[in-house]
Amino acid sequence: MTFLVRAASLTNYSDVARAAGLDPTRMLADAGLGSDALREPDLRIPAERVALLLENSAAASGMEAFGLRMAETRQLSNLGPVGLLIRDQPTVRESLFVLLRYHAMLNGSLSLMIEESAGVVIIREAVIVGSAQPVRQAIELAVGVILRLMRQSLGATWRPRRVCFAHSAPRDTSVHLRLFGPCVEFNHDFDGIVCAKTDLDAPNPSADPAMARYAQQLLDVAMATQGPTILDDVRRTVLLLLPGGRCSIEQVAAHLGVVCRTIQRRLADQGMSFSSLVNELRVELATRHVMECERPLTEVAAMLGFSAPSGFSRWYHTQFGCSAKQSRANAAHATREDAARV
């Protein structure tokens, strides 16, 4: 399946690329994207190619925080009508709920979940592009955009309690520290932001109810023309529930407010089953976490929703024809050979 994202996701790309000594048009072409992606913000383009563009740009420029640099100057206006509705909500909580409801219109590869417990809020984000390729830059861009959104109401100096990334730390963390502050953490079990519940209840003094109603009307029309999206909703929910081992069809159905039979029927209409969808996501995530990082394999097993490492080991061998340890060794060997050729 091809996941699509608004071309507005590339806002600021040209500026960051040129500052890094890159030719934006050439980089887009190398990633299979046309230059119109920089001129037409509502154009829908493949998320896989956007992720490839960001990774290629980071590698070619040596700028490990390429995605974050794009996020640093993002505005709500870049989100179109969704941004207008977010901007005029009475609280940060309501703004996040708007994003939760409409984020699929902006980015089909992004999953978003908000959890509250004991006065703490966890905003989880996950990116899946439909292929086994790095998405580090796309993830950091997505988390940076959420932070920028929250600071629209909480002030430019507001900092969350923690900013978490599942990938390892870059050699140079100066951009991360500048944007997030010292609360940024790497090698975590999820990507996202942790803040106080009271932060979400802070009033938005610039909220305009009349403008919010207008933006809501625009979005209602857009949503009505898109048709059912339960398949995408199931995929995003599975992606976010996997790390906690809470990914049965019953739990996904409860999260979406539907019965299990509805999910089974909609998936069958697409020639899929719940187990095949879960397996598809696990394959992409396994490739990412086994071959592209040094996270202990026991942790990788938990992140993919396996209750025991032995279950993960059997599944991995069935999918890839070798052990996860061997895959990681092969990937490391290929990386060393590439470096030697350079």
Same domain, 121 and 181: yes
- Residue 339: per-residue pLDDT: 61
Tokens of 250: 């019953």
Tokens of 336: 């060393």
d(CA 35, CA 95) in angstroms, rounded, equals: 32
Q: Region 12-24: what's the mean pLDDT?
A: 96
Same domain, 105 and 10: yes
pLDDT in tens, 55-75: 999 999 999 999 999 999 888
Q: Per the structure, how many domains does the chain have? A: 2
Same domain, 139 and 247: no
Q: What DSSP state is assigned to residue 168?
A: P
> What CATH number is associated with residue 337?
1.10.10.60
Residue 341 has pLDDT above 70, yes or no: no
Burial of 151 (0-12, 13-18, 19+ CB in 10 A): middle
Same domain, 163 and 291: no
d(CA 110, CA 264) in angstroms, rounded, equals: 22
Q: Region 99-128: what's the mean pLDDT?
A: 87
d(CA 304, CA 243) in angstroms, rounded, equals: 6
- Split at pLDDT 50, 70, 90, the class of 193 is very high
CB-based contacts of 35-42 (< 8 A; 24+ apart in sequence)? 36/7, 37/7, 37/10, 38/7, 38/10, 38/13, 38/14, 40/7, 41/6, 41/7, 41/8, 41/11, 41/78, 41/80, 42/6, 42/7, 42/8, 42/80
* Helix (H/G/I), strand (E/B), else coil: 100: helix
Same domain, 98 and 169: yes
Other C-beta atoms closer than 10 Å to the C-beta of 221 total 10
- Residue 1: per-residue pLDDT: 62
CB 139 within 8 A of CB 167: yes
pLDDT in tens, 263-301: 999 889 888 899 999 998 899 888 888 877 778 899 889
Same domain, 20 and 125: yes
Residue 235 has pLDDT above 90, yes or no: no
> What CATH number is associated with residue 66?
3.90.1520
Residue 342 has pLDDT above 60, yes or no: no
- Residue 44: per-residue pLDDT: 87
- Range(s) of the domain holding residue 306: 230-341
d(CA 89, CA 106) in angstroms, rounded, equals: 18
Question: Does 224 map to a domain?
Answer: no
State the pairing for strand pair 162-164/184-185: parallel
pLDDT in tens, 303-315: 898 988 999 999 9
Residue 333 has pLDDT above 90, yes or no: no
Q: Region 133-139: what's the mean pLDDT?
A: 91
- Residue 226: per-residue pLDDT: 58
Among candidate residues 178, 210, 242, the one where a domain is terminated:
210
Tokens of 163: 């900013």
Q: Region 158-178: what's the mean pLDDT?
A: 94
Among candidate residues 210, 240, 273, the one where a domain is terminated:
210
Same domain, 321 and 177: no
- Split at pLDDT 50, 70, 90, the class of 128 is confident
pTM equals 0.77
Q: Which of 132, 122, 42 is nearest to 81 (CA)?
A: 42
Same domain, 57 and 105: yes
Same domain, 106 and 189: yes
- Residue 161: per-residue pLDDT: 96
Question: Does 38 map to a domain?
Answer: yes
Question: Does 215 map to a domain?
Answer: no
Identify residue 283 by its one-letter amino acid code: V
Residue 138 has pLDDT above 90, yes or no: yes
- Residue 159: per-residue pLDDT: 93
Q: Which residues of 303-321 are buried (b: 16+ CB within 10 A; e: fewer)?
A: bbbbeebeebbebbeeebe
Q: Region 116-140: what's the mean pLDDT?
A: 89
Question: Does 75 map to a domain?
Answer: yes
- Residue 319: per-residue pLDDT: 92
d(CA 253, CA 23) in angstroms, rounded, equals: 46
Question: Does 220 map to a domain?
Answer: no
Question: Does 216 map to a domain?
Answer: no
Location of structure tokens 């938990």: 302
Question: Does 269 map to a domain?
Answer: yes
The overall average pLDDT reported for the chain is 88
Same domain, 65 and 155: yes
Residue 152 has pLDDT above 80, yes or no: yes
Q: Region 200-228: what's the mean pLDDT?
A: 78
Question: Does 225 map to a domain?
Answer: no
Q: Which of 181-195, 287-301, 328-342 has the highest mean pLDDT?
A: 181-195
- Residue 284: per-residue pLDDT: 86
Among candidate residues 210, 244, 274, the one where a domain is terminated:
210
Q: Which of 172, 142, 162 is nearest to 70 (CA)?
A: 142
Same domain, 243 and 166: no
Q: For the chain, what percent of residues have pLDDT higher than 70?
A: 96
Q: Region 230-238: what's the mean pLDDT?
A: 81
Same domain, 176 and 312: no
d(CA 122, CA 197) in angstroms, rounded, equals: 9
Burial of 21 (0-12, 13-18, 19+ CB in 10 A): exposed
- Residue 295: per-residue pLDDT: 81
